[in-house]
Amino acid sequence: MASYIPIFLMLAAAAGLGIILLTLHQVLGPKHPTEEKLSTYESGMSPIRTARERFSVKYYMVAVLFILFDIEVVFLYPWAVNFRALGVFGYVEMMIFIVILLVGYYYILRKGALKWD
Amino acid sequence: MMEFKILGIGILTWITFLPVLGMIVVLALPKDSKSVTRWTSLAFTALQLVLAGVIFMNFGRGIPGVNSLDGMQFKELATWIDIKSVSWFGRIHIDYFVGIDGISTPMVLLTALISFIAVLSSWNIEKSVKGYFALLLLLDTGMMGVFVSLDFFLFYVFWEVMLLPMYFLIGVWGGPRREYAAIKFFIYTLLGSVLMLLVILALYFSVAIVDPATGEKMHTFNMLAMMNPANFEPGSILAGLNTYWRYVAYVGLFIGFAIKVPIFPFHTWLPDAHVEAPTAISVILAGVLLKMGTYGLMRIAFPIFPDAAIYFLYPLAFVGFINIVYGALCAMAQKDFKKLIAYSSVSHMGVVILGMAAMNTQGMVGAMFQMFNHGTITAMLFLIVGVIYDRAHTRGLDDFGGLMNQMPKYSAIMVVAFFAALGLPGLSGFVSEAFSFLGAFQTFRWVTIASTLGIVLTAAYMLWTLQRVFLGTLPEKWKDLPDINGREMVALIPLGIIVLVLGVYPSPMLDIMNSSANALVDFVKSGSGLALLGR
Amino acid sequence: MIEQILSNMWYIRPEIALTITCLAAILADVFFKRKALVAGVVLGGLLASGVLLMEQYGVSAPAFSHMLAVDPFSVYFRGVILVTAMFVVLFSLSSVEINNPRLRVGEYYALIVAMTLGMTLMAGSSNMLMMYLSLELTSLSSYILAGFTKNAPASAEASLKYVIFGALSSGLMLYGISILYGLTGSLDIYAINHVLMTMGANRLALLIAGVLIMAGFGYKISAVPFHFWTPDVYEGAPVTITAFLSVASKAAGFSMLMRFMKVTFIDSTFAGPVGTWALIPGFEFTNILIVLSVLTMTLGNLVAVWQKNVKRLLAYSSIAHAGYMLMGLVVLGNDGFAAVLIYFVIYMFMNLGAFFVVMLVSNKTGSEHIDTYKGLGSRAPLLSVAMAIFLVSLTGLPPTAGFIGKLYLFAALINAKMIWLAIVGALNSVVSLYYYVLIFRNMFLREGTGSTEPLKFALSDNIILFLLLIPTLVLGLYFTPLVQFAQYSVAMFGVR
């Protein structure tokens, strides 16, 4: 247990510092609220409409699909580095992996997930 | 011993499964052939009755049975389930084991008779006839199976098979509050039977016998094996005598059976079920189903737990007393004809309990005989109510009066049934009640004396009922009530004859029961390990 | 290393078949766009997987460095899961709800296969990481399937609730796993057991880890108090998926829980009588299980009494059944486990049967309300009788199979002298009778209010009905093969 005490102290100090600073400026700082100051900041302009807008679902689709296939590369790198050591077995295995992903890729293509209009 | 086979299958199997055959035939009939359905059902139950007659003729009198394999007659034994043992779980062996002795034979006869009469008295059922008779026949198999089983597992299966048909027979064809009555019956009985199931399992793991074929030790559901104290494995939960768990197990079994009897305070389903059930089902309910409770006590609870049976003997006699007096008092307060008879059943079953609790031969014979007699007499009473209800569409006792002249034949039969029920000498009810009280008097003096109050009360409400229905002035609206018809006579007359004959000459029945009753009493007394205490 | 991986491929051939089936289903869907074809591919794939599974009968070995255990126990549960999946695919073919032209059925079948794959992996997992991953594969597929009829608001609600509860409980479970890893330094349950046996662990930490991991399992088998998602999801999801969740998903959860408990927390050096086990000191989980079991069956049964939607009623009934089966785990012995195994096969037939009838009725009437069942006895006699038999079997009355299931559970309890728990279980089955009866009371005792026209069902529907009905009856009267198979299948790799 004893070995954890420094970690605990560190956590306590970090949390304490944050709390102290936040309360200090609340207590000490001068407050002169005006309408301008309280309004939402938007690059120095007055905000014209609500910030809670709907985005087209397509953005999300592309984002999700990007992440999905991006991960593929993470697996490809270690395989490429050890390509010789893994030999045929590694090659076949990676091909299977890619084929599975390709099936998914083909699926989203056919379903039109990447069509923008 | 007795070998009676038809097409290579024993007579008890036939008598049990004949109704199922009937059910299959009925289900295969086209939907609109109502009268064919009725006649088919009647034919199958008649055949069953014939087989019962064969059993009656060939049953070896004077062979006690009870706990001895050799004493069981018409027995059949076949392996049903046999699961080889594994290193951590013993062999599972369930037999199809049936056989009858002096305790069960009267019940087998009664079941066949009542089923036949129930079919006869169901003639005027018009609503989904096919379903009705199919269920009735299935119920018949369940009842018969209970009385012939000697394997506890088999017994339990038959015991539960009856529930569903009964639920539907009350629930679909019953009176206005049929749904309530049906579910109440179902839940009460299931409550009792799950407790029984746990006891069965506890017994199963406590009893082990040596398999004659392999010499291997194995657990068994065989009731006769459970009756032998030597078969209980030392250290098992129900081993020993007068242990806590043996008492708990006995009480569990007792509650299971007491709900069927029904013993106060488990009786509240009975009036509801009786009032709502159609006539034929009331007849079966009172005639056969109630007997299963007391039969179970005699066949199973007493010989397997003789120690606990003796230990709880006094409470048993006391609930018998409560049943007798409470049932009679309730009956007296009823304005509904059917409810009155339902409560009279509670009272009469109390006599059976009291006779059993006497734990001597007279009391036991009295109880067994009372079971049979009550079956026939109450069946008559319910048929009689059914006759009047079919005509007047009311069962209110105060609605009637002066029927004596309007329906003379009906009145004559009713008087016989009522006098039999109140125990008039010369009719069968007297013999059995006399035996029961005589036996009980030797064991429990004061309880018995107090119980005789019930006889007085019974006489009072029976006679009062007769007076209310038959004497006085005939109300205007019943001026053209027709008398009893031929079909109803056919159902009632045989029962009446049985009641009369057994009243003056009871020995055909007593001969069957005597030695078994004697053996049962001796066995329980000797197996109890207690010097008969609590006297 | 590579040789080992290659040779271990043999052990996951059923799973490989499922993976290929899943891909094939997706491709078949996009190429041909014919629903029946996709279903056919899936059915063929499940069948192939089943055949490959049969070859593993009798094998007992670890695979992929103790990631998976291939043993009679996992073969048994994988069998149950595959058979259930096949029935669910058959159900789906005649479900009106699923065959709505606005829905993309291709994904539906592919997801069923993916879920099946996750569940079969759950049955074999012997590494905490593998357990977690297969659990998540199952859960993710089932979230989508629960919300599959996306136009129905209830379905969307079901899916969302399912996701939230699932995320919470898998989070708890993951936390428990990490504590256990911290305590023992391993994720392999055999190694964890070894460490716990030889070195022991902080009691409190072990208790917390155990309870947290149980939360994850409890969620999967819908044990009280982790059951809150069950009624809403079962009610909102399409009937086919409800049936699938209530049987296969529960089977997978149970198999994982049983393996985890038996391998991790049982003293492997205990030398008592064969078939009995001893807990390792430090974590007496039986007490927790007893409480869970009593709560689960009692609450499930009592709440079911008030339900008006038959699907919701059956949801609560399935909670109660999980409670019954938990009783078998409390016994700490092979007979208790065997009882659970027996119960599962029986439960599969009777519960799928009940849900199939619910589906057929809602196909014709569009409703799952209990009042829809009024007068059904005369409109659809065969269906109603079948439903009555399934319900009686669920109650546990002879001569139906449900009785045998209960019999073995109670027998295990009584043999272990846990009489009071057995009494609680028995009384619970009396309570359950009341609400099961409500359904067939409506079918037979009540007159219908609406149409009285007879309902006609396709021949294929009747055949499926009989496929479920016959085992429900036959296993009640002749159960020798089932019991022998279950007793054989209790054996797990690496433990006594």
The two three-digit tokens of residue B502, written as one number: 């057994």
The larger pLDDT score, comparing residue C350 to residue B424, is at: C350
Whether B340 maps to a domain, the answer reads yes
Query: What is the domain count for chain B?
Result: 1
- Within a domain: residue C361? yes
**What string of H, E and C letters represents the secondary structure of chain C?**
CHHHHHHHHHHHHHHHHHHHHHHHHHHHHHHHCCHHHHHHHHHHHHHHHHHHHHCCCCCCEEECCCCEEECHHHHHHHHHHHHHHHHHHHHHHCCCCCCCCCCCHHHHHHHHHHHHHHHHHHHHECEHHHHHHHHHHHHHHHHHHHCCCCCCHHHHHHHHHHHHHHHHHHHHHHHHHHHHHHHHCCCEHHHHHHHHHHCCCCHHHHHHHHHHHHHHHHHHCCCCCCCCHHHHHHHHCCHHHHHHHHHHHHHHHHHHHHHHHHHHHECCCCCCCCCECCECCCCCHHHHHHHHHHHHHHHHHHHHCCCCEHHHHHHHHHHHHHHHHHHHHHCCEHHHHHHHHHHHHHHHHHHHHHHHHHHHHHHHHCCCEHHHHCCHHHHCHHHHHHHHHHHHHHHCCCCCHHHHHHHHHHHHHHHCCCHHHHHHHHHHHHHHHHHHHHHHHHHHCCCCCCCCCCCCCCHHHHHHHHHHHHHHHHHHHCCHHHHHHHHHHCCCCCCC
Q: How confident is the model at residue B231 (pLDDT cuts 50, 70, 90)?
A: confident
CA distance C377 to C385: 7
Beta carbons of C23 and A103 less than 8 Å apart:
yes
At residue C201, the pLDDT reads 80
State pLDDT tens for residues C169-221. 999 999 999 999 999 989 999 999 888 888 878 888 888 998 899 888 999 89
Q: Check C274 against B87: CB less than 8 A apart.
A: yes
C1 touches chain A (CB under 8 A): no
User: Rounded CA gap, C64 and C67, in Å?
Assistant: 5
Classify residue B83: in a domain, yes or no. Answer: no
Collapsing DSSP to helix, strand or coil, B319 comes out as: helix
Which two tokens mark B344? 């009279």
In angstroms, what CA-CA distances link B472 with B401, B459, B488? 5, 19, 25
Asked whether residue B354 is assigned to any structural domain, the reply reads yes
Distance CA(B412)–CA(B404), nearest Å, equals: 9
pLDDT of residue C7: 86
Residue C422 lies in a domain: yes
Higher pLDDT, B301 or B7: B301
Arithmetic mean of pLDDT, B237-255? 89
Pairing outcome for strands B208-210 and B217-219:
antiparallel
Q: What is the architecture, at CATH level 2, of domain A2-111?
A: Up-down Bundle (1.20)
Residues of C in contact with B156 (CB under 8 A): 398
CA distance B390 to chain C (A): 22
Domain residues of chain A, as ranges?
2-111
Residue C435 belongs to a domain: yes
Question: Nearest chain A Cα to C107, which residue?
Answer: A107
User: Which residue from A86, A100, A106 is facing C30, i.e. has the nearest CB?
Assistant: A106
The answer to whether the Cβ–Cβ distance between C430 and B156 falls below 8 Å is no
Provide the 3-class DSSP secondary structure of residue B218. Answer: strand
Q: Does residue B394 sit in helix, strand or coil?
A: coil
Smallest Cβ–Cβ distance between A89 and the set C2, C26, C30 belongs to: C2
Residues forming beta bridges with residue B95, ordered by sequence position: B79
Residue range C63-92, pLDDT digits in tens? 888 899 999 999 999 999 999 999 999 999
The answer, yes or no, to whether residue B438 has pLDDT greater than 80, is yes
CA distances from C25 to A68, C31, C45, C205 (A): 21, 10, 9, 46
To which H or E segment does residue B9 belong?
strand B9-10
Q: Which of B:193-252 have CB within 8 Å of C?
A: 194-195, 197-198, 201-202, 204-205, 237, 245, 248
Alpha-carbon span C387 to C358, nearest angstrom:
9
Contacts of B194 in chain C (CB under 8 A): 426-427, 429-430
Within a domain: B478: yes
Residues of C in contact with A106 (CB under 8 A): 27, 30
Does B123 map to a domain? no
Higher pLDDT, C274 or B194: B194
Report DSSP state, residue B83. E
Instruction: Kindly identify which residue of chain C lies nearest to residue B205, measuring between CA atoms.
Output: C415
What is residue B226's DSSP assignment?
H
Q: Do C2 and A107 touch (CB under 8 A)?
A: no
Give A40's contacts (C-beta < 8 A, 6+ positions apart): A47, A51
Q: Does the beta-carbon distance from A89 to C23 stay under 8 Å?
A: no
Residue C4 pLDDT level (bands cut at 50, 70, 90): confident
Judge whether B131 lies within some domain. Answer: no
Asked if the Cβ–Cβ distance from B160 to C397 is below 8 Å, we say: yes
CA distance C218 to chain B (A): 28
pLDDT tens per residue across span B452-477:
898 899 999 888 888 888 887 777 77
Q: Report residue A42's pLDDT band, with 50, 70 and 90 as the boundaries.
A: low
User: For chain C, how long is the longest CA-to-CA vector?
Assistant: 71
Percent of chain B whose predicted confidence (pLDDT) is above 90: 42
Nearest CB neighbour to B198, from listed C273, C397, C414: C414
Q: Which of B153-167, B293-307, B399-413 is predicted with the least confidence, judged by mean pLDDT?
A: B399-413
> pLDDT category, B528, cuts 50, 70, 90?
low
Residue B437 lies in a domain: yes
Chain C CB within 8 Å of residue B54 CB: no
- Cα separation, C461 vs C441, in Å, equals 24
Q: Is the pLDDT of residue C115 over 70?
A: yes
- Domain of residue C351: give its range: 297-496
What is the distance between the alpha carbons of residues C338 and B85, in angstroms, rounded to a whole number?
A: 13
Exposed, middle or buried by CB within 10 Å (0-12, 13-18, 19+), for B482?
Answer: exposed
Reported as a pLDDT band with limits 50, 70 and 90, residue B535 is very low
Tokens of C447: 């007159």
Tell me, what's the pLDDT at C296?
Answer: 94
Q: Is the residue at B450 inside a domain?
A: yes
**pLDDT for the residue numbered B3:** 61
Closest to C126 in 3D by CA, of C73, C54, C52, C182: C73
Q: Per residue in B330-350, pLDDT tens?
A: 998 988 888 999 999 999 999
Q: pLDDT value at position B65?
A: 80
- B chain contacts of residue C379, beta-carbon cutoff 8 Å: none
pLDDT tens across C11-69, in order?
999 999 999 999 999 999 888 878 888 999 999 999 999 999 999 988 898 988 889 99
According to DSSP, the residues that pair with C369 across neighbouring strands are C309
* Mean pLDDT value of segment C393-418: 91
Does any CB of chain C come closer than 8 Å to the CB of residue B89? yes
Round the average pLDDT of chain B to a whole number and report it: 88
CA separation (Å) from A56 to A32, A47, A65, A113?
Answer: 40, 22, 15, 13
Q: Which residues on adjacent β-strands are paired with residue C276?
A: C333
Render pLDDT for B3-61 as a digit per residue (tens, 0 to 9): 677 777 888 999 999 999 999 999 998 877 888 999 999 999 999 999 999 999 888 88
Identify whether C127 is part of a domain: no
